[in-house]
Amino acid sequence: MITLNPVGVAYNERNEIEDDYWGKVVSKIILDDSLPEDSLNEIESFSHVEIIFHFHKVDQTKIITGARHPRNDVNLPKAGIFSQRGKNRPNQLGLTTVRVMKREGRTLYVAGLDCINGTPILDIKPVMKEFLPKEPITQPEWTHDIMKHYWE
């Protein structure tokens, strides 16, 4: 058994689960009271951080463990849940690289976090060039189509 305690909560203007238009979303992540404020020291010296969060509003009866058509579009190939980034995953974990805007005490402001208001944040990690892929990134053509409005 694994027990995870949120390190904070994200707050923004998005209250509904939607697939697109996350590019202009600004979120504030408020650190949990159980953690010291200095756990965020130097975070603003990074341009980007990775946010690991919990898809806490996913209906448990809709969890996918096998393959499905991305966005339920039968024109797309049936891809395994681990070959897509859908929210209805076995452990309901989300991961997004976001731009750091500013930090004010226990609050971190970020741009481009694709989670809804009140989402539990499980971890925050700085993005470092040394951890990015060295090789070219490849992906199937269909992924470009489903992502065309995601960051608008």
Reported as a single tens digit per residue, the pLDDT across 62-76 is: 999 999 999 999 999
Reported as a single tens digit per residue, the pLDDT across 40-93 is: 999 999 999 999 999 999 999 999 999 999 999 999 999 999 999 999 999 999
- Burial label for 49, CB within 10 Å (0-12, 13-18, 19+), is buried
Reply yes or no on whether the pLDDT at 141 is more than 90.
Answer: yes
Reported as a single tens digit per residue, the pLDDT across 94-108 is: 999 999 999 999 999
CB 127 within 8 A of CB 50: yes
* Residue 12 bridge partners (DSSP): none
Please state the pTM of the whole predicted model.
0.95
CB 98 within 8 A of CB 12: no
Question: Look-up: residue for tokens 């090789």?
Answer: 135
| Number of residues that this document lists for the chain | 152
CB 72 within 8 A of CB 84: no
pLDDT of residue 19: 87
CB 28 within 8 A of CB 10: yes
pLDDT of residue 18: 85
Q: Which residues contact 106 (CB under 8 A, 6 or more apart)?
A: 30, 31, 37, 40
> Which tokens in the block code for residue 65?
């463990």
